[in-house]
Amino acid sequence: MKLSSRNSLINKSQTIAVSNLASDLKAEGENVISFGAGEPDFPTPAYICSAADEAMEKGYTRYTPAEGLKKLRQAAADRFADDYGFRFSVDEIIASNGAKQVLYNIFQTLLDSKEEVIIPKPYWVSYPEMVKLADGVPIFVEGERENHFKLTPNLLNSAITDRTKAVIVNNPSNPDGRVYTEKELLALCEVVEKHDILLISDEIYEKFLFDDLNFKSIISLRPDLKDNLFIVNGMSKTYSMTGWRLGFGFGNKELIANMSKIQSHSTSNSNSITQYASFKALQNRNLNSLIKDRCRIYEERRDKMLAHMDKVEELSYIRPNGAFYLFVDISSVLGGNYKGEKITDSVRFAEVLLREEKVAVVPGAGFGMDDYIRMSFVLPVEEILEGIDRIDRFVKNFSKKR
């Protein structure tokens, strides 16, 4: 049977592939240290788990509206208003099976054939694939490393054509932890307004900020630009609920209504039990202190990770101010030989590192930058330090480039 040509347009997720391979090796008894995970290592708060039990006991196990329970969307609107001073109505919010489905739905809703979405590099692995699945064209732009690869007004202006429909900004960013300032976001808004395109702001890591930074959703800075801004968020990262699958999209009514229509013919509603538990979580402001405590732990891990990475002379990194990832520059060793084996790209680097030192990292190729690897710090400090020691030993066994 001949399969759709669509399959040849998209690539497997590098992050999932690495996590699966590391898990397989661990299951075989190997002492693997995995920096590949893209999820918090803390458990879902007990309060949320109890709410799920309550939902099942009360029989909240039936279909809900495709766009999600009204009371859940109201709770999301209330939380957003409390955090950022901007209020969405319930018909401007959709609840989907994770933030990933929100993004998939928005591209399916927004794009006609060959219309373009501007994506800054490095990018989350699924952005370009979802654009291609909607028959759109991803247009990549790369900022300067000295500016944390941030998208600037000049870069954005230069990439816009008559086929540009949207630009996506991940703030804070996966894979490099960059965080945009209010001034930088306002400058991007001016370009978006001038060209009347949509800015999709992926804010899933909103609560993971370091160095005393404060996060503001982009729409709170330009509420008058509401029809040109779309916010993506969810429960996965903030509440350690990655497997529960609940994401939110915030945007104008027309977009949300059409996204709901698409979702009604794919997955229909997101899990009803997850919706109920998420409703209870969003209502419980006492969880805020727990979230802050966990963020402080991630910041401590980041600091210890950076201090230890500084001892690895062959590698450098982008200092993350948010999320929970370190983006490491491996260009100084690429092209060299490891025990007679030539290492020319990030995928081969990651494969040989896992084979030889039992350390899992994510190749930068999946994020559009083949001279880098991504390392998460969602694991105990002892494992972080041991993993870096193994990486140090690995790169010191490289012969010079030829």
The predicted-structure confidence for 117-173, as pLDDT tens digits, reads as follows 999 999 999 999 999 999 999 999 999 999 999 999 999 999 999 999 999 999 999
CA angle 47, 51, 57 (to 5 degrees): 145
Q: Specify the pLDDT at position 62.
A: 97
Residue 402 has pLDDT above 90, yes or no: no
pTM: 0.96
Sequence length of the chain is 402
DSSP one-letter string for 118-178: EEEES--THHHHHHHHTT-EEEEEE--GGGTT---HHHHHHH--TTEEEEEEESSPTTT--
Q: How many Cβ atoms sit within 10 Å of the Cβ of residue 394?
A: 19
Residue 102 has pLDDT above 70, yes or no: yes
Q: Specify the pLDDT at position 198.
A: 99
320-340 average pLDDT score = 96
Indicate the average pLDDT of the chain.
96
User: In this predicted model, what pLDDT tens digit does every residue of 2-58 receive, in sequence order?
Assistant: 888 888 888 877 677 777 888 888 889 999 999 998 899 999 999 999 999 999 999
CATH architecture of structural domain 46-285: 3-Layer(aba) Sandwich (3.40)
Lowest mean pLDDT among 49-58, 186-195, 278-287, 322-331: 278-287
Distances in whole angstroms, Cα of residue 273 to Cα of each of 57, 64, 239, 278, 283: 10, 10, 15, 9, 16
Alpha-carbon span 178 to 269, nearest angstrom: 33
Element containing residue 52 per DSSP (H, E): helix 46-57
CA angle 353, 358, 361 (to 5 degrees): 55
Alpha-carbon span 395 to 336, nearest angstrom: 10
Tell me where in the chain the CATH 3.40.640.10 domain(s) lie.
Answer: 46-285
225-245 average pLDDT score = 98
Q: Which of 183, 146, 152, 143 is nearest to 319 (CA)?
A: 146
Alpha-carbon span 208 to 295, nearest angstrom: 6
Confidence of residue 401 (pLDDT cuts 50, 70, 90): low
Q: Specify the pLDDT at position 13.
A: 75
CATH architecture of structural domain 5-30+288-399: Alpha-Beta Complex (3.90)
Backbone phi and psi for residue 395, each to the nearest 5 degrees, phi listed first:
-70, -25
Q: Classify strands 398-399 and 337-338 as parallel, antiparallel or unpaired.
A: antiparallel
Tell me where in the chain the CATH 3.90.1150.10 domain(s) lie.
Answer: 5-30+288-399
Q: Residue 30 has which token pair?
A: 């190997």
Q: Residue 153 has which token pair?
A: 């007004």
